[in-house]
């Protein structure tokens, strides 16, 4: 299997895991909600709580002259979009996918707004709000007593990823909408009244049993997905961490070739470049070994190290990157530190990741000095504290809770693995890591380790 196929399988596994977690949370809300409005709003919020969807909204069909599709619940980014377009479930298909789904009773999917029909008034508004694709599934239920249509509407979802909704997505969201419609009719009292009939009571019990079976299956599927995700994390971790020594090897190789290509070759400089290549090659091997040790059940190799020395070594390794971005480095390294047992390569990975993130954050700053501060200290709990501060663009408060999650990134070129790896390493050393907004608009990352960590 090729690398593209492997990552494709992993992406599908991650997507399945997200949907199973969504189903689990929605199933709980079906039984917990105390009112129809509470249920509708909670489902929308659950759907946009991950990274896959930007906007979720639910519309009910009105029987007025204009066949209005009235939004009754909404959540996510770009909710103002719903104020800018007229939603209708009438016969004019230009009113959008939600209207089509509500009218026809079939799912409507648009894979790429950019390539959609230009005459549709909702298309320009969708693009302006950063939407690239959407799916709308019908929301319909019949009365248990009369058989008439008791609920008609649509659940509509928007994302910033073209082609994000495959056939599996249509099936998943259509089934979710059917369960939601059933739950709504129950909250309206129709189901409660019908429970007086023994047959209807048995039907409700069967529905609950099926929901419980689906939940058990979701848990099994989620466990399998988590195993696949762990394998994907290891592969992505190696790819992420190995890039730095490989980049240094290429850079030093080119430098050595230039020294040798001179009319009067500078053999000393070329020899120095070759030595750096060898050192970077050893470092790449150490990085792989260090990451592999994180996934071993028998723990990892540790030895007493002076953390100040590890900080100095990392700053020497990244000196070129830091200087190339016009960043000044200020260190405050405590003289009270005692050597502590750590995995040297892994702890350097953490420090290097935090430093390079700070460099990235300051690369676009032009209105103030670019300053990197690295501090070591012993805190009030007699634990070792390492802090990396920058004067960069800072951290959005909404990102603070998710910034250490695997595959979550705020960078257009990021893999979303660096900070996740940092957290895994620090936690394996029985420490903790956190992030905060800096006092001067930048960001602060810090971690602490017990004096006897990872022993």
Together in a domain, 184 and 82: yes
pLDDT truncated to tens, each residue of the chain (455 aa)?
554 555 456 556 667 777 777 887 888 888 788 888 999 999 999 999 876 789 999 999 998 888 889 999 999 988 888 888 888 888 765 668 898 899 989 999 988 888 766 556 678 888 888 888 999 999 987 665 555 667 889 999 999 888 888 888 888 898 888 888 888 887 776 444 444 444 455 556 667 777 766 666 655 555 554 445 555 555 555 565 666 677 778 777 888 888 888 888 888 888 888 888 887 777 777 666 666 555 554 446 678 889 999 999 888 878 877 888 889 999 999 988 888 988 887 888 889 889 988 988 898 888 889 999 999 999 888 889 999 999 988 888 877 777 777 665 655 545 556 787 788 888 888 899 999 888 777 899 999 998 754 44
CATH number of the domain that residue 48 is part of: 3.30.450.40
Domain presence at residue 205: no
Together in a domain, 252 and 336: no
In this prediction, residue 345 carries a pLDDT of 79
Together in a domain, 238 and 124: no
Together in a domain, 239 and 261: yes
Considering only CA atoms, which of 6, 71, 67, 64 is closest in space to residue 40? 71
Domain presence at residue 211: no
**Are 361 and 392 spatial neighbours (Cβ–Cβ below 8 Å)?**
yes
At 187-220, the pLDDT tens digits run 776 444 444 444 455 556 667 777 766 666 655 5
Question: Whats the size of the chain, residue-wise?
Answer: 455
Which residues constitute the domain of residue 258?
A: 231-294
In this prediction, residue 72 carries a pLDDT of 93
Tell me the pTM.
Answer: 0.43
176: exposed, middle or buried (Cβ count in 10 Å: 0-12, 13-18, 19+): buried
Together in a domain, 243 and 104: no
Together in a domain, 347 and 263: no
In this prediction, residue 138 carries a pLDDT of 92
Together in a domain, 174 and 49: yes
Domain presence at residue 212: no
Together in a domain, 443 and 363: yes
Domain presence at residue 28: no
Six token digits for residue 257: 């070739």
In this prediction, residue 31 carries a pLDDT of 78
Domain presence at residue 217: no
SS (H, E, C) 261-278: HCCCCCHHHHHHHHHHHH
Together in a domain, 288 and 310: no
Q: At what angle do helices 418-428 and 198-261 cross, to 10 degrees?
A: 100
Sheet architecture: strand order including 328-333: 328-333, 371-378, 384-390, 443-449, 432-437
Together in a domain, 188 and 331: no
Domain presence at residue 27: no
Together in a domain, 246 and 347: no
Considering only CA atoms, which of 342, 310, 316 is closest in space to residue 329? 316
Count structural domains, the chain.
Answer: 3
Backbone angles phi, psi at 378, to 5 degrees: -110, 120
Domain presence at residue 225: no
CATH number of the domain that residue 403 is part of: 3.30.565.10
Domain presence at residue 214: no
Q: Classify each residue of 331-353 as buried b or exposed e, where b means 16 or more C-beta atoms within 10 Å of its C-beta.
A: eebeeebeebbbbbbbbbbbbbb
Together in a domain, 334 and 289: no
Q: Classify each residue of 100-123 as buried b or exposed e, where b means 16 or more C-beta atoms within 10 Å of its C-beta.
A: bbbbeeebbbbbebeebeeebebb
């Amino acid at each position: 299997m090729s690398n593209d196929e492997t990552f494709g399988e992993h992406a599908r596994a991650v997507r399945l895991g997200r949907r199973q977690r969504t189903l689990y949370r929605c199933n709980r809300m079906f039984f917990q909600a105390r009112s129809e409005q509470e249920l509708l709003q909670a489902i929308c919020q659950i759907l946009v709580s991950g990274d896959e969807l930007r906007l979720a909204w639910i519309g009910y069909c009105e029987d007025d002259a204009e066949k209005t599709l009235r939004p009754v619940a909404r959540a996510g980014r770009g909710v103002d979009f719903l104020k800018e377009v007229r939603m209708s479930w009438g016969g004019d298909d230009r009113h959008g996918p939600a209207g089509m789904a509500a009218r026809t009773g079939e799912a409507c999917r648009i894979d790429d707004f950019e390539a959609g029909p230009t005459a549709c008034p909702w298309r320009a508004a969708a693009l302006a709000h950063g939407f690239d694709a959407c799916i709308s599934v019908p929301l319909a239920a019949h009365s248990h007593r009369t058989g008439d249509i008791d609920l008609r509407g649509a659940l509509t979802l928007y994302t910033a990823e073209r082609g994000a909704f495959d056939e599996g997505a249509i099936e998943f969201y259509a089934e979710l909408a059917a369960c939601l419609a059933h739950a709504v009719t129950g909250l309206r009292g129709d189901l409660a009244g019908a429970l007086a009939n023994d047959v209807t009571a048995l039907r409700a019990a069967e529905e609950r049993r099926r929901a419980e079976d689906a939940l058990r299956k979701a848990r099994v599927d989620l466990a399998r997905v988590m195993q696949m995700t762990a394998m994907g994390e290891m592969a992505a971790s190696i790819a992420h961490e190995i890039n730095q020594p490989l980049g240094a090897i290429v850079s030093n190789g080119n430098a050595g070739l230039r020294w040798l290509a001179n009319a009067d070759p500078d053999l000393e400089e070329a020899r120095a470049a070759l030595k750096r290549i060898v050192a970077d090659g050893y470092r790449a091997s150490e990085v792989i070994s260090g990451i592999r040790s994180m996934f071993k059940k028998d723990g990892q190799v540790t030895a007493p190290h002076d953390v100040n020395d590890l900080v100095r070594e990392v700053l020497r390794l990244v000196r070129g990157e830091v200087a190339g971005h016009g960043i000044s480095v200020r260190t405050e390294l405590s003289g009270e530190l005692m050597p502590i047992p750590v995995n040297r390569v892994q702890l350097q990975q953490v420090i290097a990741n935090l430093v390079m993130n700070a460099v990235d954050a300051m690369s676009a700053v032009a209105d103030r000095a670019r300053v990197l501060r690295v501090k070591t200290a012993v805190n009030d709990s007699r634990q070792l504290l390492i802090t990396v501060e920058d004067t960069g663009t800072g951290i959005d408060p909404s990102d603070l809770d998710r910034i250490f999650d695997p595959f979550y990134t705020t960078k257009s070129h990021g893999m979303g693995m660096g900070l996740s790896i940092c957290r895994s390493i620090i936690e394996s050393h029985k420490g903790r890591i956190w992030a905060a907004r800096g006092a001067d608009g930048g960001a602060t990352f810090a971690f602490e380790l017990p004096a006897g960590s990872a022993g």
